Amino acid sequence: MAKQENICQPTFAMTLFLDECNKRLRIDDYRGNMNDIYSYIYKEVDKATYEKWIIKARAEHLLDWMSLGFSLEATVPYYFNGSDAYLLCYYTSQSRRDSGETLKETELLQDVLNLPTSDYSPLSNQLIMRRAISSDAKQLSQLYRQIFTVYPTPLYEEEYLSSLLQEDSLFYIIVDKNDIVSAASAEIDYVYHNAELTDCATLPAYRKYGFMKHLLSALEAELKQRHIFCAYTIARALSFGMNAAFHQLGYIYTGRLTNNCYIYKSLEDMNVWVKDLSKSKG
């Protein structure tokens, strides 16, 4: 299980997210001396366990982090209460740094970007879209277990999902005859007022109906009610359907994270898409 640590030293403070499952660490927030932050991680963290380091950097620190060996892979505009975040990465493993799917992913992305933005047809009357509640945890875990062989978080565990839903986590689902057939969620950061749209899954038999656009739009509406205007997602770079859904809903592609996490069946590259909900209608 991943864990978060708040580290305070004489010359810096940071929020460090340690993710052993995906062999990566992430600096979600920081202040102080960046050279000392880098030195601390380099000396205190097992480089064999954490092959990829990610930092959400501010614009004014971009060159400082790059001078320490970090490279820019993507951006999240509006992330810090309207200011941009820069996703910079550092690798301790050559194999983690190299992706064998770059050309294929770029071709897929171009096909997606050539698609027109489009509306979507109404849901069938027999289907119900609603916010998930704690009693949905068992069915939700079964849905994720069917779709993903591996996933960055343990969504296939009923107890884990139940705890999320009890903590006011925002999941929307589509139900057909009492069965959950599609789901998506929003992880909200109330400090910097942004949300990651994630945990998107639809049973194979239902994928041709465009359910994800309905779910994402419902999540967007809920976020706007909470005055959360920065919405972003990290989608599998080899998933045409997911990338197409975000593109057609007006999200902007802002970069690709190399070998970012274990998802679906293996370690995969992930595309970043961002939308300013304050400029969207509805």
CA distance 84 to 199: 24
- Interval 114-146: pLDDT, tens: 998 877 788 999 999 999 999 999 999 999 999
- Overall size of the chain counted in residues: 282
Domains in the chain: ranges and CATH: 2-97 (3.40.630.30), 101-276 (3.40.630.30)
Residue 280's pLDDT band (cuts 50, 70, 90) = confident
Which burial class, exposed, middle or buried, applies to 225 when counting CB atoms under 10 A from its CB (0-12, 13-18, 19+)? exposed
Q: Which residue, among 193, 187, 185, has the nearest Cα to 276 in the 3D structure?
A: 193
Interval 244-261: pLDDT, tens: 999 999 999 999 999 999
How large is the average pLDDT for residues 210-221? 96
Which tens digit of pLDDT belongs to each residue from 142-197?
A: 999 999 888 888 888 999 999 999 887 899 999 999 999 999 999 999 999 999 99
What's the pLDDT score for residue 82? 96
Task: Look up the pTM and report it.
Answer: 0.94
- Long-range contact pairs involving 72-76 (C-beta distance under 8 Å, separation at least 24): 72/255, 73/255, 73/256, 73/257, 73/258, 74/254, 74/255, 74/256, 74/257, 74/272, 75/254, 75/255, 75/272, 75/274, 76/194, 76/230, 76/232, 76/254, 76/272, 76/274
Looking at the DSSP bridge assignments, the partners of residue 243 are none
